[in-house]
A and B are shown apart, each in its own frame.
Chain A
Amino acid sequence: MDRLYGTALRLTRNPDDAEDIVAEAIEKAWSKLDELRDPDCFQGWLFHILNNTFISEWRRRQSRPPFSSDDDAPTLDECDSEDFSLFRQLHQPFLLWWGNTEERFLNELLQEELQLALDALPDPFRVVLIVVEVQGYSYAETAEMLGIPVGTVRSRLNRGRSLLQKSLWQQASDAGIAVNRPGNEGASP
């Protein structure tokens, strides 16, 4: 129940809405229980219903179809964030792993900070990130679930990751963890 609610909360960003879609998903699951062929798949099946419930509700609340095009959310600033890599910003190759900046960053990163950064992402990017990175759906499954092409899933993932990491970089800079080294952007890896 906690993971179901937690996922709903990350998708909706609102505790009341999260409770509503969990309850609705359980209600739908109950009514479709005879469609579940393999009881071992119950959990995945329930999460799938939860996602679909969220998407339906999300669509209902929008004045235009959600997730339908690639140009509905990103602003100019967001587009600038494409391919931003937090690792590239933090990494100092001459330091050892256990004493390095990225390790320190991960150790000091608070869940609340990560949550704020994730919740601040525009819906199309946040939802694709949650479905793929957290829930582990394939790009094809995500595309089908959201009714968008696989290429759009891919581009939203790229932008979503870049935006999230840029936001975390800002936090790291503010906390004094990050040292901006001119010329490191674009370096490999």
Chain B
Amino acid sequence: MTRRTLTCEEVIEQLFDYLDQELDDQRQADIEQHLAKCRDCFSRAEFERRLRDRMEALTQVPAPHRLHRRIRSLLDQFDDESNSTT
């Protein structure tokens, strides 16, 4: 039996579930197949992906020197504690 192809409306409705990889393998594949053929839906998916990438880049922030020093001091303290118990 041939599987019914998804409409643009169905794809857009499930687009974020697809991007979040919340769909089963078959549905993920169905959407990928649609995106490979449909320029409008592909553009929409690409736009959301790129916006997401930009958001991910917001978490790449240089940690301040103060925090580096604080963590180093914590690690030294852990080392001292573990040395004293051995």
Residues in A lying within 8 Å of B, measured CB to CB: 1-7, 9-10, 15, 19, 22-23, 26-27, 30, 86-87, 90-91, 93, 97, 100, 102, 106, 109, 111, 114-115, 118, 129-130, 132-134, 138-139, 157-158, 161, 165, 188-189
Given contacts A2-B61, A188-B8, are A134 and B56 in contact (CB under 8 A)?
A: yes
Identify the closest chain B residue to A112 (Cβ). Answer: B58
With a CB–CB cut-off of 8 A, which chain B residues contact A5? 61-64, 67
Identify the closest chain A residue to B38 (Cβ). Answer: A189
B-side interface size class: 35 or more
Q: Is the interface of A mostly helix, strand, loop or mixed?
A: helix
How many A-B contacts are there with CB distance less than 8 Å?
109
12 contacts across the A-B interface (CB closer than 8 A)? A5-B67, A7-B59, A86-B47, A91-B47, A111-B57, A134-B56, A139-B22, A157-B16, A157-B20, A188-B8, A188-B12, A189-B15
Instruction: Report the 10 A-B pairs with minimum CB-CB distance, sorted nearest first.
Output: A6-B61, A6-B59, A5-B63, A189-B12, A189-B44, A7-B59, A1-B63, A87-B47, A19-B67, A189-B41
